[in-house]
Structure 1
Amino acid sequence: MTGRQLFNKRLIEELRFQSGIIRSVVDCTIALYIVIPALVAAVMIYKEAWQNISLYWHGDLPFSLLLVLVFLFSLSSNFRTYIMEADLLYVIQRGKLLYGLKLHAFIFSIMLTMFQVIILFMLLKSFLRNKASVFAYLQITMITFSAIIIVPILLKWIIFICSIFFIHYWLYHLYRKMLDSPFFCYCSN
């Protein structure tokens, strides 16, 4: 079994589990009276936003607020490894299998986050469609995609550097404490 095959198997299991949860919450009654009317209303509001932007978007609203909200939305995603507790020992002993599983899970997580951000951008496009907002739209796009890709890598390096600093600080103080102890003291009598 390869890492890709194991990832595909875990992904199918996860999708079945999530669809079971959705089916248990959204039965026919809920779908008929809440979900379908909400979808119809959302389509109508989105169409109205394309036609009458002034009803939904105030010109004095600071652009930085929107930028911060989109940035925070892009950071809210998580990266799944699809490693189960039951087979943790088996997968860890086979490094190539673990690497393949983590690689495919990471790529899938990034693709899922990109899909969510593209959907968000499609929603925001109705508000940012005039010529003055095209540059703002490009800024949001670039910052969000950089947040998706660069922030996890940057966070990993920050944690790594902090841990090296902590270990160095701890070893230095341990060394100083050992030198100050009477056991290591050179006494000439």
Structure 2
Amino acid sequence: MTGFELFQKRLNQHYRFYKRLKTVTVDWTVWVYIIIPFFIVGASVYIDLWNEVPTWPKLLTINHLLMFFVLYIFTSQYYSFLYPADVLYLWQKRRLIQTLSKMSIVYMALVQLLKMSLFLAILSPLVIKYLGLSLQAFFELSVLVYLLLIIMVILKRKAKVGLSKWKFRFTFFTLISITYMMLYINLWLNFWIVLGFVSSVMVSLFIIMISKCKNLEREISLDVDQRNKVSQLVLMQAAHIGAPDWMTQSNSLSSSRPWIYRKSQKIYPGYTPENAYQELIIKTFLRRRNWMFMYLQFTFVGVGLLILFPSWYKVLIYFILIFIIVQLARSYWNQIMSAQFLDLFKWRVVNLSNVSQKMFKLFLLPSFLILSLILGYTLFSFMGIIVMIVVGLALTRITANLLSQKVIIELER
């Protein structure tokens, strides 16, 4: 087997891995309620940006653009396409490793070129219309950013492979400073001088990366860690539709300690089965940081979207967010009701209908009120706040009752 054939095989395995992740987390409901509305709204906002309709981009400066580019550069990464079994098979086949390393860098450069083209196309109305850069200046800056991205991705991986944790952190922040400085210098020096220097560094790094095959175990562990992080991130965000519990729980002892109700203080004074269920649901939600952060994430990201988007989008975004919060509440209830802990005790007869109504109202009310207040104020100023408080309260009551009926029917099946 040649190195190119090995690369093709690993690339197919790589795509199959992400295809399996997609089939697990993206079904027709995600397309209908999230992806398709996102593209429709995004396309309309993009057209508005070219027409200079929004006013918030006028606050942007060239320094914000450079910091955005630096953030994009240092969140990029690449795979070496190595697997744990390669320690046994490829250790003595240095030519295969060199070819695989070369092809992985070439593949990374092509993928990053496609990603960055899309990224720059999205940014182009902000840069050209609001910041006033010419097409030539934007093109020159884009070329420099692309070359710096390739260099810094390679350097970041080399630092991860060869340095300890603290040395890597120091190197990482040093690279960030150098990248920002190079982009800033390009605004004042001749573009071709900066381009020649950056290109020579990139060619030197390419030769060094291909010629050296040290620390194969560390390279493999980095690839495994990256795949695991991607899987955990995707499944964590999809946890409310049925991902395993262990995907959203940390192994850290410090993070497993509850940050509230550490000594299990009672919330309700009386001991009744209903109070016990309600206390269990409330304390579990507050102690499981992933659930709480997901709830806060959807709520406050929604606040930002309602503030930034134009008027007629706000109502659509509002109802999409309401739907997401409702699905989150329903999934959390189902997870609690299916917990094996509840089977350890013989509970007295409990009216779960009352419990579910109270808990859904408690869960939905903060988010619904915050989103309703923001929508009312952005659309109708202070008069809208009064109207949308009533709408938020009514929507919470109606949704909680309907949701309660649905989950009780599911439990009785």
Per the TM superposition, whether the score is higher than 0.5 is yes
Q: Deviations over 1:122-175 (max 9, x none)?
A: 011111224931265245314312312333566659x79x9xxxxxxxxxxxxx
Residue 104 to residue 88, structure 1, CA distance change in 2 (3 Å): same
Structure 1 residue runs of 5 or longer lacking an equivalent are: 163-189
Q: What SS does the aligned partner of 1:57 have?
A: helix
Give the equivalent residue in structure 1 for 2:85. 86
Q: TM-score, normalised by structure 2?
A: 0.35
Residue 74 to residue 114, structure 1, CA distance change in 2 (3 Å): farther
Give the equivalent residue in structure 2 for 1:10. 10
Q: Distance in 1 between matches of 2:125 and 2:41?
A: 16
- Structure 1 stretch displaced more, 148-157 or 117-126: 148-157
Q: Is the 8 A contact 1:49 1:56 kept in 2?
A: no
Give the equivalent residue in structure 2 for 1:183. none
Q: Distance in 1 between matches of 2:44 and 2:91?
A: 51
- Greater RCO structure (CA 8 Å; 6+ sep): 1
Structure 2 residue 150 is matched with structure 1 residue 149: yes
Q: Which amino acid in the other structure matches residue 122 of structure 1? A: A
Residue 154 to residue 31, structure 1, CA distance change in 2 (3 Å): closer
Q: Deviations over 1:64-110 (max 9, x none)?
A: 11111112202221121101001322112111111111110111112
Residue 54 to residue 33, structure 1, CA distance change in 2 (3 Å): closer
> For 1:37-186, what aligned pairs fall within 5 Å after superposition?
37-52=37-52, 54-58=54-58, 60-130=59-129, 132-134=132-134, 137-138=138-139, 140-152=141-153
Instruction: Report how far residue 45 of structure 1 moved.
Output: 1.0
Q: What SS does the aligned partner of 2:126 have?
A: coil
Q: Is the 8 A contact 2:73 2:153 kept in 1?
A: no
Q: Which amino acid in the other structure matches residue 35 of structure 2? A: V
Q: Distance in 2 between matches of 1:108 and 1:149?
A: 11
Q: Distance in 2 between matches of 1:74 and 1:53?
A: 29
Q: What SS does the aligned partner of 1:93 have?
A: coil
Q: Distance in 1 between matches of 2:77 and 2:71?
A: 13
Aligned-residue identity in percent: 24
Q: Deviations over 1:51-71 (max 9, x none)?
A: 12553521x422111111112
Residue 109 to residue 17, structure 1, CA distance change in 2 (3 Å): same
Q: Distance in 2 between matches of 1:150 and 1:14?
A: 23
Q: What SS does the aligned partner of 2:78 have?
A: coil
Residue 26 to residue 63, structure 1, CA distance change in 2 (3 Å): same
Q: Which amino acid in the other structure matches residue 80 of structure 1? A: Y
Q: Distance in 2 between matches of 1:8 and 1:23?
A: 23
Aligned length: 159
